[in-house]
Amino acid sequence: MPALSLFNQHGYLLAQLVRREVLLKYRGSILGIGWSFLYPLLLLGAFTLVFGGVLGAKWGTQGTGIELALFIYCGLLVFTPFAEVASTTPRLLQNYQAYVKKIIFPTELLPLVNVLAATMHGLANLLVLVLIAAIAGHLHAMLLLAPLVLLPAWLFTLGVAWFLAAAGAYVRDLTHVMPVATQLLMFLSPVFYPLQAAPALLQTVHQFNPLAIAMEDTRRVVLQGVPPDWTLWGAMLVIGILAAWAGYTFFVRSKEDFADVI
């Protein structure tokens, strides 16, 4: 696995770059990294008030109020880190031109740093989800599986990061296209609705989408207290590994030209 190899070779450098990336995001703010926990709490509160009151009655199978809010939050827990990475990685190499033009710097670390920084924020969201779910009556051993069911989506996101970072060096339009594309993808994914409520074509597509399956598995584990379909989870893990490998291979094969095209 490329990611494990990079961890072994450049673990200290990765840790420092991720720390810098996370701290830069909150530099100058009063609460600092505390926003990583406050923001998801505010978001969950907004979902409880708005979606619970407006849409709850129409979602009888999902409950109302906090139950519906948790249902949607499970979807956003998976999608938000992906959207953050997909929106920012196309301009990543332009933002770090000084690193790219230094031959001794391993540029393949940059997308991984971006994903790990998004993962730190995602872990804060996961902690909030687990705590509120436990308070809402979903305290069970299956909560421990929550990080595991997210692994295929994480690997898939990493592969997308490597691919978009390399492609963005050649196609600058991706910087403008991806934020719009991620917004569209959010409504096409089962973030605000269960997968079985999607049109048949979307259901078929999402059977091969680690993000969509991770959303459903997170809901099963957190809200229903049942394990995921391990066969399907294993298939998504394979897709995630293949996506990470393909993205990394594309990045490495393209890196020789980065200094010339940036």
Q: What is the pLDDT of residues 91-133, one digit of tens each?
A: 999 888 887 776 678 899 999 999 999 998 888 889 989 998 9
Sorted by sequence, the CB contacts under 8 Å of residue 223 that are 6+ apart come out as 67, 70, 71, 74, 133, 138
User: Averaging pLDDT over each range in 2-6, 18-22, 165-169, which range is the top one?
Assistant: 165-169
Query: Is the pLDDT reported for residue 64 higher than 60?
Result: no
| pLDDT given at position 60 | 46
Question: Rounded to two decimals, what is the model's pTM?
Answer: 0.89
Q: How far apart are CA 130 and CA 70, in angstroms?
A: 10
Section 193-216 average pLDDT: 93
Output the CA–CA distances (angstroms, integers) from residue 134 to 48, 101, 139, 208, 246, in the order listed: 16, 49, 4, 31, 38
Looking at per-residue pLDDT, the higher value among 107 and 60 belongs to 107
Long-range CB pairs of 20-29, under 8 A, 24+ apart, other chains included: 21/113, 21/114, 21/116, 21/117, 22/117, 22/120, 22/121, 25/117
pLDDT in the model for residue 25? 72
**Considering its fold, how many domains does the chain have in total?**
1
Interatomic CA distance for residues 259 and 19, integer angstroms: 26
Q: Using CA atoms of 53, 54, 59, 62 in order, give the dihedral in degrees to the nearest 10.
A: -40
Q: What is the pLDDT of residues 161-182, one digit of tens each?
A: 999 999 999 998 999 999 999 9
Query: What is the residue range of 54's domain?
Result: 2-261
Handedness of CA 25, 31, 36, 39 (dihedral sign): negative
